[in-house]
């Protein structure tokens, strides 16, 4: 039984701005064992779209979270319950974490101080200032972490040894990397204070409270990374931390370096190169952890001097989207387990205040959402009262022979059926199989420009097609039937919820939240409580209509949300492009009566075409980066270009499928579309402008 005044999914995002206590409350540790690299020496780049869970994983490295786990565990044990353990393996827990969020820290405010007409020296100077500011910010946070860990020794044990902090200060102050800045700092406290002071001076300068930077800062600018490595080395030599304790320095929201224009963009490119140098230096004394959106880690891998940083050599890349995405083998699909665990975690946690929600919750994601309908079941829900005239659904033209018409009508009227019928016994007709028969009859059977099957008498057996042929076309047929019956397509059930979530935990949570709200509204009894069903998986407590309405709402909400996101171009511009794409794909799918292109809810472009149309490439990359679109490598069946010119296939984010009324499943080959078509759509959407439009005409001139 669940009391109705709470929705455990209300908090969608739990990012680095959540308190440590909230983190403990909401974090699902499911992924942690699958990402061991996060807690071992070496540089790691964590890449993913918004809401994929990057910041949550990075926050696990902060000492405050570990303390929050310990405190929560104590509270629970006092209350006679089982404690919650810090979700990192015991062997990997002895680390020290510190970090910076490029957005919140104000580090990039430095770019606002760039002179109106900057010379090369200005860029060099500002690059050096950025390196110094970043060093000191990370150092400030590292020293704060050390103090915090020392103050909470009951949680961290002997991870740090504060008795040796002053000894560390004595050792570190004399390092030549500071250029004498800490000469007078003989204690840990004085060292910390001087570091914090320097950060404050930078920020005061950026706020124009100080007319210029102090001379003692300008004359002691440090080289990126080196002071941090020296600090860690001195900490170990002074035995303030153990020899084997790794130090993880986080740099989150790398995408901030991407959101600049003009000279500032040139400057932030230089900042990016500077940061790359940290990775390229392969300094084992410190390990960096980067959090970044997809689009901000697709290029820009060069360091000052030209060498590029290399994946696996200089850093390990964890692509969260890719890690969670469903592959052909469902057995290894992490997202399914992750979502199930997050669901369970949310519905079983105790709220902060008095236990308003009674914890007797047998609800799992599977029992909550139930099963998804088969295509035949879906048609029965969509077309409750079939039209008297089958022609309204089947749209047979004048070229069908009488024999074929009779064959199709027999299927429609269930006079011919499969050995194991897929329709319900009570449902009077079978429009789905009849429409598939129409499509099958319109096809040639693989003979290019050959006659269609309907030019010869219809088959005697049913179904005449293979299971694969049918599987790939079922949802397209459902879509066409729904439109002809002027009905809206619906989605519900666990399978569909997971598919629409596109392996993104925030999308999954937003569906859970809305479905929960719909369910609450419809299921309240007199006492304000909801009784859940504990039955079989298909005995879902949430009626399909509630789910369908909720999922439709979520889709529309995300369409608005995507449009509100910033970017280059911003979300509103990108969504105009996505709207054009959605309308175009839908039109193509509906017009494909022979169902020759059932994979036409996506399109495939050659990498060379993208390369030749830079503005379009950037637009697609940005849309993929923000999650408006979804893109994967396309192993084309066109043998000629298989290895010569690779392709990528592009789909709308599945969560937008209900909004655009397009099937979400990616079956069969996508549309092999000339790049001009996509360019034209981008121009129609006003997402490519001015001289960028010229590219369309150039593209049209190409043979």
Partner 1 sequence: MFRPWGVLDWALGLSSRRQWQFLGCLGAEERSTACLLALATRGVLKGHTLLRVDDPKSEYADVTAKCLATREAECNKAGLRLQIATRDLLSPIVTLDKICAEMTAPSVILDITSLPKRFFFYLLKHLFRCADVKDLVVTYTLPEKYPAVPLTEDHEPWDALPSFRQPDPDKEKLAHRRLIVNVGFMPDGLVSHLEGRAEERRIDLIVPFPAPVAAIRRAWQSVWALAASTPHEAIFAEHRVGAQDLSEAFDVIIALSPADTNLVSFAPFGPKPISAAMCLYSILTGSPVYYAQPKVYRPDYSLGIAKSRGEDQVLAYWIKHGAHRLFDVPIARKAL
Nearer to partner 1, 132 or 256 (CB): 256
Smallest distance, partner 1 to C-beta of residue 181, A: 19
CB 641 within 8 A of CB 579: no
Cα 632 to Cα 639: distance, rounded to the nearest angstrom: 19
| DSSP-derived secondary structure letter, 645 | S
Closest CA to 291 of 261, 339, 256, 246: 256
Nearer to partner 1, 204 or 700 (CB): 204
Q: Please name the residue ranges forming H helices in 253-333.
A: 262-280, 320-324
Cα 557 to Cα 21: distance, rounded to the nearest angstrom: 29
* Six token digits for residue 502: 């596109």
- Pairing state of beta strands 2-3 and 44-47? unpaired
Smallest distance, partner 1 to C-beta of residue 295, A: 13
Smallest distance, partner 1 to C-beta of residue 208, A: 4
Edge-first strand listing for the sheet containing 602-606: 629-634, 647-652, 602-606, 671-672
Smallest distance, partner 1 to C-beta of residue 697, A: 17
Smallest distance, partner 1 to C-beta of residue 74, A: 23
Cα 616 to Cα 687: distance, rounded to the nearest angstrom: 9
Cα 349 to Cα 533: distance, rounded to the nearest angstrom: 20
Nearer to partner 1, 17 or 391 (CB): 17
Smallest distance, partner 1 to C-beta of residue 50, A: 8
Nearer to partner 1, 345 or 666 (CB): 345
Binding site for partner 1 (CB under 8 A): 10-15, 17-18, 103, 105-106, 109, 111-116, 199-200, 203-204, 206-209, 256, 259-264, 561, 563-566, 569-573, 686, 689-690
**CB neighbourhood size of 243 (10 A):** 7
- Pairing state of beta strands 287-292 and 2-3? unpaired
Cα 278 to Cα 464: distance, rounded to the nearest angstrom: 63
Smallest distance, partner 1 to C-beta of residue 52, A: 13
Q: Where are the beta strands (DSSP E) in 481-558?
A: 529-530
Smallest distance, partner 1 to C-beta of residue 18, A: 6
Nearer to partner 1, 140 or 230 (CB): 140
Nearer to partner 1, 119 or 330 (CB): 119
**What sign has the CA pseudo-torsion 593, 599, 602, 604?**
negative
CB 502 within 8 A of CB 626: no
Nearer to partner 1, 117 or 397 (CB): 117
Smallest distance, partner 1 to C-beta of residue 260, A: 8
Nearer to partner 1, 10 or 527 (CB): 10
CB 652 within 8 A of CB 582: yes
Nearer to partner 1, 213 or 438 (CB): 213
């Amino acid at each position: 039984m669940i009391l109705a005044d709470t929705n455990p999914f209300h908090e969608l995002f739990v990012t680095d701005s959540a308190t440590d206590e909230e983190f403990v409350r909401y974090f699902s540790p499911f992924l942690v064992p699958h990402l061991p690299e996060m807690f071992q020496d070496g540089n790691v780049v964590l890449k993913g779209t918004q809401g994929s869970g990057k910041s949550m994983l990075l926050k696990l490295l902060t000492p405050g979270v570990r303390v929050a786990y310990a405190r929560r565990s104590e509270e629970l044990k006092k209350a006679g319950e089982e404690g919650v353990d810090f979700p990192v393996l015991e062997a990997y827990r002895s680390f020290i974490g510190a970090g910076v969020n490029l957005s919140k820290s104000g580090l990039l405010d430095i770019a606002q101080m760039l002179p109106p007409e900057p010379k090369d020296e200005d860029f060099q100077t500002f690059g050096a200032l950025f390196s110094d500011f970043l060093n000191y910010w990370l150092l400030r946070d590292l020293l704060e972490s050390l103090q915090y860990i020392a103050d909470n020794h009951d949680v961290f044990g002997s991870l740090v040894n504060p008795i040796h902090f002053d000894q560390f200060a004595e050792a570190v102050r004399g390092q030549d990397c500071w250029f004498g800045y800490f000469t007078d700092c003989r204690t840990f406290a004085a060292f910390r204070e001087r570091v914090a002071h320097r950060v404050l001076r930078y920020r005061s300068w950026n706020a124009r409270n100080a007319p210029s930077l102090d001379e003692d800062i300008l004359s002691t600018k440090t080289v990126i990374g080196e002071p941090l490595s020296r600090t860690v080395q001195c900490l170990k030599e002074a035995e303030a931390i153990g020899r084997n304790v790794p130090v993880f320095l986080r740099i989150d929201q790398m995408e901030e370096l991407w959101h600049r224009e003009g000279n500032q963009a040139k400057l932030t490119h230089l900042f990016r190169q500077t940061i790359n140098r940290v990775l390229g230096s392969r300094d084992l004394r410190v390990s960096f952890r980067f959090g970044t959106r997809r689009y901000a880690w697709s290029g820009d891998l060069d360091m000052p001097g030209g060498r590029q940083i290399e994946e696996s050599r200089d850093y390990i890349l964890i692509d969260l989207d890719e890690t969670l995405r469903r592959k052909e083998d469902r057995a290894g699909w992490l997202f399914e387990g992750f979502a199930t665990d997050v669901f369970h975690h949310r519905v079983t946690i105790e709220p902060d205040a008095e236990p308003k929600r009674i914890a007797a919750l047998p609800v799992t994601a599977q029992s909550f959402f139930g099963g998804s309908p088969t295509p035949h079941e879906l048609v029965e829900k969509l077309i409750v009262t079939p039209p008297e005239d089958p022609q309204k659904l089947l749209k047979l033209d004048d070229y069908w022979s009488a024999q074929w018409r009779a064959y199709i009508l027999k299927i429609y009227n269930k006079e011919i059926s499969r050995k194991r019928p897929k329709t319900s016994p009570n449902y009077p007709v079978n429009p789905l199989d009849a429409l598939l028969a129409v499509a099958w009859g319109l096809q040639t059977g693989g003979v290019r420009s050959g006659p269609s099957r309907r030019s010869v008498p219809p088959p005697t057996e049913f179904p005449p097609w293979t299971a694969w042929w049918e599987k790939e076309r079922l949802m397209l047929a459902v879509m066409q039937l729904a439109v002809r019956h002027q009905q809206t397509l619906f989605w519900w059930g666990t399978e569909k919820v997971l598919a629409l979530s596109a392996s993104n935990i925030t999308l999954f949570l937003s569906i859970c939240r809305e479905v929960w709200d719909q369910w609450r509204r419809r299921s309240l009894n007199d006492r304000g409580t909801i009784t859940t069903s504990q039955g079989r998986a298909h005995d879902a407590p949430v009626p399909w209509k509630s789910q369908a309405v909720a999922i439709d709402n979520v889709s529309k909400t995300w369409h608005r949300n995507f449009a509100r996101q910033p970017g280059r171009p911003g979300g509103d511009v990108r969504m105009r492009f996505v709207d054009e794409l959605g309308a175009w794909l839908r039109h193509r799918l509906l017009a494909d009566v022979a169902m020759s292109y059932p994979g036409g809810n996506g399109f495939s472009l050659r990498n060379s075409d993208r390369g030749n149309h830079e503005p379009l490439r950037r637009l697609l990359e940005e849309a993929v980066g923000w999650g408006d679109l979804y893109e994967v490598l396309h192993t084309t069946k066109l043998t000629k270009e298989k290895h010569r010119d690779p392709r990528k296939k592009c789909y709308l984010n599945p969560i937008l499928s209900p909004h655009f009324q397009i099937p979400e499943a990616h079956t069969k080959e996508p549309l092999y579309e000339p790049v001009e078509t996509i360019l034209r759509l981008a121009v129609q959407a006003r997402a490519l402008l001015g001289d960028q439009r010229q590219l369309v005409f150039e593209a049209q001139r190409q043979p």
